[in-house]
Amino acid sequence: MSAEVRIAVLREVSIGGGNAIANILKKAGATQQNLPRPGPREIPPVVFTDIEQVSSSEFSEYLASIGTEYEKYRAQKELGMEELRLQTSTLAKESDGESDSSVIGQLESRFAAAQLHPGKTIAGARLPLRRTGSFASVSSLDLPLSPTESEHGRPSRRHTVPGITPLSTVPPIFFEDNFSLENPRTFDMVSENSDVIRSTASAPESRKALATNAILQEKLSWYMDTVEVHLIKEISTASGSFFSALSDLQVLHNESEGAVEKIRGLREELREVDEEQAVRGLEIERLRVRRANVARLEGAMRALRDVVQRIENVGALIDKDQHAQALEEIEKLNSELAGKSQKTDAAPTLQLDLSKVQALDGARSQLKQLSSRIGKNIEKELARIFVTDLRQWAESISPRETLDRLSFSYQRNLRKPGNGSQRTSMEQARTFETIRPEIERTLEILQQTKSMEGAFQSLRDAVMKEIKAIIKQNLPSDDDAESVSSNITARSTNDKTIALARSLRNMSPVEFREMLACIYTSTVEYLRRLSSQYKLLLDITSTMDIGRSPPPVNGNGNSDTNDDIRARQVMDINDLIVAAVDVAQSRMVRILNVRSEQNSRFSVYDFLQYFALNILFIAECEAISGRMGTGLQGSVSSQAKAFVAVVHSDRMARQAGTVERDQWSLEEVPASVQQSVNRIVAAMTKDSEEWLNDLRVGAEPPKTKTNGDEGRSRSLDIEDQSFYVPVSTIVLMDALEVYEKLLVAIPVLGIDIVANMLDILKLFNSRTCQVILGAGATKSAGLKNITAKHLAMASQSLSVVITLMPYLRECARRHIGQAPIIAEFDKVKRAYQEHQNEIHSKLVAIMSDRLESHCRSLATINWERANTEKPEAYMEALVKETTTLHKVLAKYLNNIGLQTILDEVHARYNSRLGEEYRRIELRSVQAQEAMLADVRYFQDRLSKLEGVRGPGDYLAKLVEGKAVSAA
């Protein structure tokens, strides 16, 4: 039987049936032999078809429906295979093994050859494998194909495993994940480069046609059978454990059915016991508990009625402003509702734990509302107490008193003991004695109602409102603005703002300064009092008992300590002070900026008063809040910078015009100018009291004297030196004092002011040079020519500046330090000295020109006929001109300048006259005596000039030493 099965299997494999691929395609291939072979471009490109990806979960329902049948099929198949295996083994032993084995061996060898060499034939016949009945053929292949059984009749594992064709015979390309015959490369590898259409007869037969390639077909069929055999083997190997588990499950199922039956019986027995005994006893106990619950319910209802009535009483106490009693009652009710009630004879019905009564949730909410209502009332009360105290304090102090105090604290050298009055901290503390108890009670209530945060917010809002009201009520009113403000529209607000800005710009400096003084003094007193209230609040919170109610719980779940609560409260007040300062300064910045252009056109006195008032307010705000306000400080500084620029521009233009129009004649010096110079000299070591007095807010403005009322002097005195000066120098002295006063008053702009001072000094020097040495005064001032007097006056003006330069430099150094700009003073001084030397050289040059003219006359004199008793005309004219020069210079120059110029003139005289005298040849003693008489006249007259040295005896010795030649 075994041999017959094996022969049938091999015969089925070796003989190609009618369904073989070769037979199906044979006729189609024969009809296409004469067709032309298509070229590469004629074959249409292969387009990959998108295969829809189907999820495995979509087969779940189908697999579940066929699962049972499939399991039955597997079990039957396993049993059938095992039975077939046993039957085959039995028949193999009974049959004639030798004859069958030889036949089977030959078939097996041919079959193995076909397997190793697909495409070859076995005994001249092709072996195409048919898929029909492949399961039977493969099943038979799983049996041993050679007589290699053991002696006991069981197949050996060692020999049966090699009987299965290994999977390695199947090309790896079939196992790739991306295997697809749509891919041309994959198709060529699988088809072994066979042509889809047979080639023409004329073409070389290099590639086989796919339709007639029987070997390829046999290979593919063999690959599929090999894979199928391995799949069946793996399934057979795993089937034993599966059926073993299935058997165990059936046993467990039977045991479970028995247990269920027993449980059903027990339940029936328990039901009978429950109905007969337990139910009746439980009913009795239930009725007993119900009676007790009804009694407790009655007591709870009475307690609820009492709670509702007491809550109504609390509302009545709040309406009567009896907040302390109301809070005490609320605290008791909260304690009772929390289950912490005290047992008293007066209220026996309340001796219950009401903490879990849901009906009282509304009562608890109502108590919270009542507590919040008390807190709201007390919040307003705290704000009212503080604001009322602020108003009373601000009204009790006059603006003048506040300004004096600010000036005293900012500039102590302007205050003398006993002037003005100051409210000390002791006086402020005494004023708090009246409101301290009220504040303590209010804070205790706020602490109990946990409304401290809301109270401080209300206080903050009230204080901010007061600060804004102070500023608003002191602003100028305008009829147009008032009429426009009645219409509440966006346009009316804009018109009102425009009207207010116009009113501010139209205010005079005095009116604007008075408005600022009222705003600043009231605001400062409010802030000072608020700072004192802050200290009072710190003292109260550090001593009061705030442990009556449990402290609030913070975000971390820990309760805050009393110190934390006090710190938050004090911090809130401190922030309130800072916020109030910021609000006040921000609003003042807008007001000041509206008048920025008008403020820059103030007089020096008005602007210094305005600047000092703002600086005092800024300094006081910084002292109170501990923080510097940059907004107002920046606005005032920018306006001060604009003012300094305007003053400098005005002074430069005024100085330039004065120099150009100056007649360079002697001008009497007003006493105010002399005092200005004295203050400039004193500012070398100490700022002038008059300058500092201008910075005192409310100081009297300087009195302007007319020419008739003010004393005058002929010279300008600088310590022990006197100078005769023109008008332009007097104007320069006034400008220099203004710059130094600004330097003292506005130290933040010190470098800019010093630079402006140097600019005007340079301007005076350059314009003086233009109009005097450049003779520009002949056009600008209408002078006919530049005389020695003009040169002398210019030299005197330069001497004044040169003398004041060290004082100006040291004053600047005191206020701005050793800045690089300090070195500019020395450069400007050298420029003045060089200019003065040029003026002196100009005077000497004038006399040198006159000397040359006289020397030409000297050359024409006949000394042999000259008169020995009377000097010649050239000498008389030279002495007269020199005497006139001395008289002019002595009138305007000091002794040092006069001596310097005449010494150089005399040296020119000696040098030039000596040259002429040497050139003249004397032929007689009489001629020598006549020349010597001229020299003695020259020496005698010039030596008598006051304040200068004479020309000396150089010419006399020269003439006496001349040799007289005989005729």
Query: Which amino acid makes up residue 424?
Result: T
**Pairwise CA distance, residues 315 & 323, whole Å:** 10
* Secondary structure class of 915 (helix, strand, coil): helix
Per-residue pLDDT band for 828 (boundaries 50, 70, 90) equals very high
Task: Tell me the three state secondary structure of residue 669.
Answer: strand
d(CA 659, CA 656): 5
DSSP string, 550-587: PPPB-TTSPBPPHHHHHHHHHHHHHHHHHHHHHHHHHH
State the maximum Cα–Cα separation within the chain, in Å, rounded to a whole number.
195
Q: Which two tokens stand for residue 320?
A: 């009567």
Rounded CA gap, 409 and 617, in Å? 11
Place of tokens 């195409």: 128
Q: Quote the tokens at residue 12.
A: 């089925």
> What is residue 831's predicted lDDT score, i.e. its pLDDT?
94
* Residue count (the chain): 967
Domain borders along the chain are: 244-320, 378-481+495-545+566-625, 630-701+712-841, 861-961
What is the 3-state secondary structure of 708-756? CCCCEECCEEECCEEECCCHHHHHHHHHHHHHHHHHHHCHHHHHHHHHH
Pairwise CA distance, residues 867 & 872, whole Å: 8
Q: What is the model's pLDDT at position 805?
A: 94
What is the distance between the alpha carbons of residues 863 and 204, in angstroms, rounded to a whole number?
A: 152
- Return the closest-CA partner of residue 799 out of 711, 737, 732, 845: 732
d(CA 206, CA 521): 117
Question: pLDDT for 426-478, tens place per residue?
Answer: 555 556 677 787 777 777 777 777 777 777 788 888 888 888 888 888 888 75
Cα dihedral 453, 458, 461, 463 sign = negative
Token pair for 331: 């605290």
- Report the pLDDT value the prediction gives residue 359, as an integer from 0 to 100: 65
The pTM score is 0.60
Instruction: Supply 373's token pair.
Output: 């209502």
Task: Quick: pLDDT tens for 924-952.
Answer: 888 888 888 888 888 888 888 887 787 88
Confidence of residue 541 (pLDDT cuts 50, 70, 90): confident
Query: DSSP assignment of 10-66, as one string?
Result: HHHHHS--TT-HHHHHHHHHHHTTTSPPPPTTTSPPPPPP-PPPPPGGGGHHHHHHH
Neighbours of 309 (CB within 10 A): 9
340 falls in which pLDDT band (50, 70, 90)?
low
| Fold designation for 861-961 | Monooxygenase (1.20.1280)
Distance CA 921, CA 963 (A): 8
| 699: nearest Cα among 476, 471, 517 | 517
**What's the chain's average pLDDT?**
76
| Helix ranges (DSSP H) in 769-871 | 777-780, 788-816, 823-859
Q: Are 765 and 759 in contact (CB under 8 A)?
A: no
The Cα-based distances of 548 to 364, 372, 810 in angstroms read: 19, 17, 68
8 A C-beta contact, residue 631 and residue 422: no
- Kindly indicate the confidence band of residue 835, based on its pLDDT and cuts at 50, 70 and 90: very high
The residues near 660 (Cβ < 8 Å, ≥ 6 apart) are 767, 771, 776, 777, 780, 781
**Cβ–Cβ under 8 Å, residues 614 and 636:** yes
Q: Which amino acid is at 709?
A: D
Residues sharing a CB contact under 8 Å with residue 450, sequence separation 6 or more, in sequence order: 371, 375, 549, 552
**Amino acid identity, position 315:** G
Q: How far apart are CA 450 and CA 710, in angstroms?
A: 74
Q: Torsion-angle region of residue 236: left (phi > 0), alpha (psi -120 to 50) or beta?
A: alpha
Predicted confidence at residue 356, as pLDDT, reads: 67
* Weakest-pLDDT range from 279-293, 306-320, 594-608: 306-320
Residue 701's CB: how many other CB atoms inside 10 A?
11
Q: Which residue has the tokens 């450069």?
A: 827
Res. 60: pLDDT tops 70: yes
Average of per-residue pLDDT across 670-683:
92
Mean pLDDT of 248-256: 87
Q: Other C-beta atoms within 10 Å of 430: how many? A: 10
User: How confident is residue 34, by pLDDT bands cut at 50, 70 and 90?
Assistant: low
Q: What is the pLDDT, as a whole number, of residue 119?
A: 42
Helix axes 452-473, 361-395, angle to 10 degrees: 30
509-543 helix and 452-473 helix, angle to the nearest 10 degrees = 160
pLDDT tier at 353, thresholds 50, 70, 90: low
How far, in Å, are 26, 32, 135, 213, 917 from residue 36 at the CA level?
18, 9, 42, 19, 144
Residues sharing a CB contact under 8 Å with residue 739, sequence separation 6 or more, in sequence order: 651, 753, 754, 756, 757, 760
Rounded to the nearest 10 degrees, the angle between the axes of helix 2-14 and helix 97-116 is: 30
The Cα–Cα gap between 512 and 599 comes to 10
Give the model's confidence band at 339: pLDDT under 50 very low, under 70 low, under 90 confident, else very high: low
354-389 pLDDT per residue, tens? 666 666 677 777 777 777 777 677 777 777 888 888
Unique residue bearing structure tokens 């032999």: 33
Tens digit of each residue's pLDDT (9 = 90 or more) over 615-656: 888 888 888 888 777 788 899 999 999 999 999 999 999 999
Q: Where are the alpha helices (DSSP H) in 397-508?
A: 399-410, 425-431, 436-448, 452-473, 479-485, 490-506
Asked whether the beta carbons of 585 and 527 are under 8 A apart, the reply is no
Could you tell me the two tokens for 764?
Answer: 């005076």
